[in-house]
Amino acid sequence: MSRLSRVLTEATAAARSFLRRRTAVFFTFFFPVILVVIFGALVRTQPTGGGLFAEPAGYYIPGYLAVVVLFTPLSRVGSEIARHRDGGRFEKLATTPLSRAEWLFAHTLVNVAIIGAASLLILGLVLAVTDATLVVSPALAALPAFVALAVALFCGLGAVLGALADSQDGVIAASNTVALPLLFLSETFVPPALLPDWFLPAVAASPLTYFARGTRAIVHEPGAWVGDLAVLAALAAGFLALGAYAVPRTD
């Protein structure tokens, strides 16, 4: 059995398990939709005013996408690890040929597929219910790569959180603690101009910043995005490696 076959076997089981949890599927897609409706359609942006949501509607497209590429992998992979640990599944898998890296890669593939679909939904919804417009260019083809790499990155981080937390409750609490600051302090919804200068290095240290910058350069303000993609790819590789190492093998 090849490595690819093992990964596909694990991914198939993971996808089936997820798709048969109807509430999980519903809220995976419903949560970002609510955000788009509240902030995009009800609050609306005020380009001539000040404060939050003062940028053109298109500025916030990366933010809406960031909601799903950040929250969903963190909580899903973290919870899955807690569930596996509680159910003795890692103990079982440790005696099979499936490696920890293969396990994480398989679950990352499932998350990329799920979140890719959710991102597509959000993008369509943002364009439909807000004034946002999409810059159509060949660079748009790189948007899926940004989504996939960001999902992989946060799957790796989710694996670390899942390994460190001792329960599913702990995973959720840890995921929220990590994700909320990242979401709002990574050039997604809050422009750097609204932040104090001393905090900007922290913004630059956030992996999500490179997702936001790169995708914004593609969908809203055409500009250079290859560098952001490269940083994101490097970070994704690093976090996946860290996550694979963190996935429990023994008790």
How many residues lie near other proteins (CB under 8 A)?
28
Of positions 33, 61, 93, 160, contacts other proteins by CB under 8 A: 93
Instruction: State the alpha helices, DSSP H only, in the chain.
Output: 3-19, 22-35, 61-86, 89-93, 100-129, 143-164, 168-184, 200-205, 207-219, 226-246
* Comparison of 14 and 142: residue with beta carbon closer to other proteins: 14
Q: Does residue number 95 form part of the binding site for other proteins (CB under 8 A)?
A: yes
Measured torsion, CA atoms of residues 99, 208, 130, 226, in degrees rounded to the nearest 10: -90
Closest approach of Cβ 21 to other proteins, in Å?
Answer: 7
Of positions 27, 53, 91, 242, contacts other proteins by CB under 8 A: 91
Looking at residue 248, its amino acid is: P
Q: Which two tokens stand for residue 130?
A: 């807000």
Distance in angstroms (rounded) separating the CA atoms of residues 111 and 89: 20
Closest CA to 188 of 90, 69, 81, 10: 69
* Comparison of 96 and 133: residue with beta carbon closer to other proteins: 96
Of positions 41, 52, 54, 94, contacts other proteins by CB under 8 A: 94
* Comparison of 25 and 113: residue with beta carbon closer to other proteins: 25
Of positions 10, 28, 57, 125, contacts other proteins by CB under 8 A: 10
Q: Does residue number 227 form part of the binding site for other proteins (CB under 8 A)?
A: no
Is residue 91 within 8 Å of residue 49, measured between CB atoms?
A: no
Name the segment binding other proteins (CB under 8 A); options: 3-11, 108-116, 134-142, 192-200.
3-11
Is residue 134 within 8 Å of residue 65, measured between CB atoms?
A: no
List, as one string, the DSSP characters of 110-174.
HHHHHHHHHHHHHHHHHHHHSS-----SGGGGGHHHHHHHHHHHHHHHHHHHHHHSSSHHHHHHH
* Comparison of 21 and 44: residue with beta carbon closer to other proteins: 21
* Comparison of 90 and 239: residue with beta carbon closer to other proteins: 90
Q: Does residue number 25 form part of the binding site for other proteins (CB under 8 A)?
A: no
Q: Does residue number 9 form part of the binding site for other proteins (CB under 8 A)?
A: yes
Question: Contact positions toward other proteins, by CB under 8 A?
Answer: 1, 5-6, 9-10, 12-14, 16-17, 20-21, 86-98, 249-251
